[in-house]
A = this chain, B = another copy of it.
């Protein structure tokens, strides 16, 4: 093995993650569906490849950070997929937000080829990816996790281990995503209640997110919910529905009712029905505003 690492998926998150790997001295072979997305990381020395198969070295490591379960399956085991090239002794470091079932399925198929699989989904927005400040959950075999450790360290500020069952980290990621969405809805309801009683939404948000709720999630999103508008699109609402559906699929499979998740889900499909599918996903919080008969235009 010549020591290059494969990286597939150079979107808003994948691109800065790959750059951080390059900066940390890892030699990368990269692939993205739209090839021009490879330019920034190429500027840091990465070698762009024409197919997913081309990024893999036998016995090496391939990192994936792609849109969804279907794309991941395709770049791994589809035509021109990298799995067979990775082969015996290789590791698939799978960092996308996907279902636990997909992780289990991919891991089993890699195992037949002699390769290992680590699930390592991340928390953080593009700016956190850029600053190598992602929080990472991991699950998989101890040996594989040890081997990918340096890569994870180069991309995140901390790694939390969820054991050897490969799907566990994916469940943790989905649980966390759900909690973020629930936090947004709870702020939307609270600030809307306050607005209807004459309070200033931002004043309330500032108070709560600087004191008892002073955490990254509330601090990041509080102002957006208060203003009823995001300044830019961090994550498209239509894709947030996909993530929420992964949560609800996991709830269904686990026979675990999640009433809050249902409400957020319905806010998302209602937002799409009202034409907000391509806005920032925080636009689902306008549901609470409209239900209360308030205008959704920016409040400040």
Interface of A is mostly: helix
Interface residues as binary, A151-187 with B (CB distance below 8 Å gives 1, 0 otherwise): 0000000101011010110011011101110110111
Closest residue on chain B to residue A203 by CB atoms: B162
Within 8 A of B (CB), among A119-173: 123-124, 135, 137, 158, 160, 162-163, 165, 167-168, 171-172
Closest residue on chain B to residue A269 by CB atoms: B255
Q: Are A193 and B250 closer than 8 Å at their CB atoms? A: yes
* Stoichiometry, copies per complex: 4
Contact of A212 among B198, B217, B263, B265 (CB under 8 A): B217
Q: Are A193 and B171 closer than 8 Å at their CB atoms? A: yes
Q: Does A67 make an interface contact (CB < 8 A)?
A: no
Closest residue on chain B to residue A172 by CB atoms: B204
Interface residues of A (CB under 8 A from B): 100, 123-124, 135, 137, 158, 160, 162-163, 165, 167-168, 171-172, 174-176, 178-180, 182-183, 185-187, 189-194, 196-200, 203-204, 206-208, 211-218, 245, 247, 250-263, 265-267, 269-270, 272-275, 287-288, 290-294
A-B contact pairs, 26 of them (CB 8 A): A123-B211, A158-B211, A162-B204, A163-B200, A171-B193, A172-B207, A175-B191, A175-B193, A176-B190, A183-B183, A189-B258, A189-B259, A189-B260, A193-B251, A193-B254, A212-B215, A212-B217, A214-B215, A256-B269, A256-B273, A257-B267, A257-B269, A257-B270, A257-B273, A257-B292, A260-B263
